[in-house]
């Protein structure tokens, strides 16, 4: 079965960096695009970033452009999110999500999430 | 960016009720719309994609409709396990965007 397990979250101060990881199993990881989606405490869902199956295309929401970098290692079945210059507004649970098969970016499997807390 | 507006933000309903949630896009998204269910402390779960296609394993009491800018999610007969928050998401263009959510509560 598809399993996505995030790690790397924690409590940091403004301006610090974190790298999130998402270990994938149960599907051919190198054949699927992957996303990061976040959810601030008590708030709704916000899409953060996407990477194509082969890493050839990457997209970001405006608020993280220039600070966050998405990457993947298909040999290790792992997705990453490098987060630099963190600000309190980045405080959220970060989910990795698998792109549903097909041309359209829906999320058919999600991890349990990892909490990032940024203090000022 | 495409803004997604859901209504209502919350609804109180009883088991067995028919519940409809609407989602409006600030510009047309064709049929590139999904609905998700989220329970407290859990990740979202996809229910509907392509505006009206039921995801495998999702009960048939869930249905989706609409295209362009106006969409709806209907639960035909609310069950105890359906009390949750529901989100729409447009997949027409990046940045992908979600509606603000609709919390379905027990009356």
User: What is the per-residue pLDDT across A1-34, written as a single tens digit (0 to 9) for each?
Assistant: 999 999 999 999 999 999 999 999 999 999 999 9
Per the listing, tokens 């609409």 go with B66
- Kindly report, residue by residue over B21-30, the tens digit of the pLDDT: 999 999 999 9
Interchain proximity B36–A95, CB inside 8 Å: no
Contacts of A92 in chain B (CB under 8 A): none
Residue that has been written with the tokens 């098969």 in this structure: A101
Question: Is A74 in contact with A82 (CB distance < 8 Å)?
Answer: no
Q: Which residues of B touch A (CB under 8 A)?
A: 1, 32, 34, 36, 38, 42-46, 49-50, 55, 87, 89, 91, 94-101
Distance from CA of B7 to the nearest CA of A (A): 14
Give the pLDDT score at A102.
86
Whether pLDDT at A103 is above 90: no
CB contact under 8 A, B45 and A112: no
Residues 6 or more apart whose CB falls under 8 angstroms from that of B72 comprise B20, B21, B22, B23, B64, B65, B66
Model confidence pLDDT, tens digit, residues B31-67:
999 999 999 999 999 999 999 999 999 999 999 999 9
Rg (CA), chain A: 13
Q: Which two tokens stand for residue A73?
A: 């290692």
pLDDT of residue A39: 98
Tokens encoding B54: 């039921």
Min Cα–Cα distance to chain B from A27, Å: 16
Token reading at A114? 């990892």
Confirm or reject contact between A52 and chain B (CB < 8 A): no
Overall average pLDDT of the A91-118 stretch: 96
> Of A65, A23, A97, nearest to B45 (Cα)?
A97
The answer to whether residues A6 and A94 touch, using CB atoms and an 8 Å cutoff, is yes
Give residue B71's region: left, alpha or beta (phi > 0; psi -120 to 50).
Answer: beta
What is d(CA A3, CA B7) in angstroms, rounded to the nearest whole number? 33
Q: Enter the DSSP assignment of A43.
A: S
Q: What Cα–Cα distance (Å) separates residue B72 from each residue in B3, B68, B105?
A: 16, 12, 18
Residue B106: the pLDDT is: 87
Q: What is the pLDDT of residue A31?
A: 96
CA A51 – CA A67 distance, rounded (Å): 16
Q: With an 8 Å Cβ cutoff, are B43 and A110 in contact?
A: yes
Alpha-carbon gap, residue B104 to B86, rounded angstroms: 8
User: ∠ CA B67-B68-B73 to the nearest 5 degrees?
Assistant: 40
């Amino acid at each position: 079965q598809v399993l996505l397990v995030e790690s790397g979250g924690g409590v940091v101060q403004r301006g610090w960096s974190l790298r999130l990881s998402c270990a994938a199993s149960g599907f051919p990881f190198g054949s699927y695009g992957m996303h990061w989606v976040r959810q601030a405490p008590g708030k709704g869902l916000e899409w953060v970033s996407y990477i194509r199956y082969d890493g050839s295309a990457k997209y970001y929401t405006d608020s993280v452009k220039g600070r966050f970098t998405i990457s993947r290692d298909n040999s290790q079945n792992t997705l990453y999110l490098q987060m630099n210059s963190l600000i309190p507004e980045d405080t959220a649970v970060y989910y990795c999500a698998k792109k549903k098969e097909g041309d359209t970016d829906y999320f058919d499997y999600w991890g349990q999430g990892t909490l990032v807390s940024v203090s000022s | 960016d495409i803004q997604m507006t859901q209504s209502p933000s919350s609804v109180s309903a009883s088991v067995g009720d028919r519940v409809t949630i609407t989602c409006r896009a600030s510009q047309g998204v064709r049929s590139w719309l999904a609905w998700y269910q989220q329970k407290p402390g859990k990740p979202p779960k996809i229910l509907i994609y392509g505006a009206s296609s039921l995801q495998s394993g999702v009960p048939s009491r869930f249905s989706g409709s609409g295209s362009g800018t106006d969409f709806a999610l209907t639960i035909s007969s609310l069950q105890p396990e359906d009390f949750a928050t529901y989100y729409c998401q447009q997949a027409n263009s990046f940045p992908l965007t979600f509606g603000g959510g609709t919390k379905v509560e027990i009356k």
